[in-house]
């Protein structure tokens, strides 16, 4: 059995107990490990993708390269009790366990690790014209009882949810790390706020946003820094 947890906010700890287990992690993310007796785990580079079917893995690899959601992965193979640790450039690590049918939409660059009980896919959003977030997003959907996901963010994450109060959530797309909900029903709407001030360089700097209404149950995780770029419209 595999479990994920964080250590000191900056490191992912993966504990394996029992027989043979596998996980997928960002290539090069391993930093340390220990086990009783001889080393009983190893890592192999994933050439195409985490899909079991070769045809799906090849198609997925092509889609990721075209959309910019390329995800360099390695597969960890554990054969007995062990504890291993993973990190990425000192970024904060968040662990989430997906329920059956629950989906997390996350930038590929933020994915640190996930278990085989998560189905990996790339889905088109069509919003890349207004944000550094691409035209597509990586998705992981829970398909088993052990669907762990670990992802990274720059700084301590901010967690927003309208699951209980049906509030409207609005966020800057360049600060979004991921959103979690039922597949197909929790993608954001794109809200534009462009006026004549935008074209004379007097905009607020917040001309677009992702928005979820109270009828879209979702949990959104935001980082306290923004990706550089996006579209800047102005007239000197």
Q: In the 8-state DSSP scheme, what is residue 195?
A: -
Provide, rounded to the nearest whole percent, the portion of the chain with pLDDT above 90.
53
Ranges of each domain in the chain: 2-222
Q: Does 2-222 carry CATH code 3.30.950.10?
A: no
**Residue 217: exposure state from Cβ atoms within 10 A (0-12, 13-18, ≥19):** middle
- Compute φ and ψ for 130, nearest 5 degrees: -120, 5
* C-alpha distances out from residue 132 to 102, 172, 202, 211, 227, Å: 25, 11, 21, 17, 7
Neighbouring CB atoms inside 10 A of 148's CB total 22
Residue 198 has pLDDT above 70, yes or no: no
Residue 216 has pLDDT above 80, yes or no: yes
Neighbouring CB atoms inside 10 A of 34's CB total 10
- The residue-averaged pLDDT of 174-196 equals 78
Q: What is the pLDDT of residue 48?
A: 63
């Amino acid at each position: 059995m595999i479990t994920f947890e964080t250590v000191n906010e900056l490191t992912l700890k993966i504990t394996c107990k029992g027989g043979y287990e596998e996980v997928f992690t960002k290539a090069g993310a391993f930093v340390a490990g220990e086990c009783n007796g001889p080393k009983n785990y190893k890592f192999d580079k994933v050439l195409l993708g985490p899909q079991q079917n070769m045809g799906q893995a090849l198609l997925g690899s092509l889609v990721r390269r075209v959309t910019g959601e390329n995800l360099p992965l390695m597969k960890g193979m554990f054969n007995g009790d062990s504890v291993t640790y993973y990190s990425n450039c000192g970024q904060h690590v968040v662990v989430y366990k997906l329920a059956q049918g629950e989906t997390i939409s996350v930038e590929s660059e933020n994915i640190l690790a996930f278990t085989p009980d998560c189905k990996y896919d790339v889905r088109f959003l069509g919003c890349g014209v207004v944000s550094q977030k691409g035209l597509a997003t990586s998705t992981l959907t829970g398909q088993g009882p052990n669907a762990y996901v670990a992802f990274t963010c720059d700084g301590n994450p901010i967690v927003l949810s309208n699951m209980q109060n049906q509030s409207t959530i609005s966020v800057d797309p360049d600060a979004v790390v991921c959103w979690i909900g039922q597949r197909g029903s929790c993608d954001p709407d794109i809200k534009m706020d462009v006026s004549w001030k935008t074209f004379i360089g007097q905009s607020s700097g917040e001309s677009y946003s992702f928005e979820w209404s109270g009828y879209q149950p979702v949990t959104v995780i935001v980082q306290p820094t923004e990706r550089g770029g996006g579209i800047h419209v102005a007239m000197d």
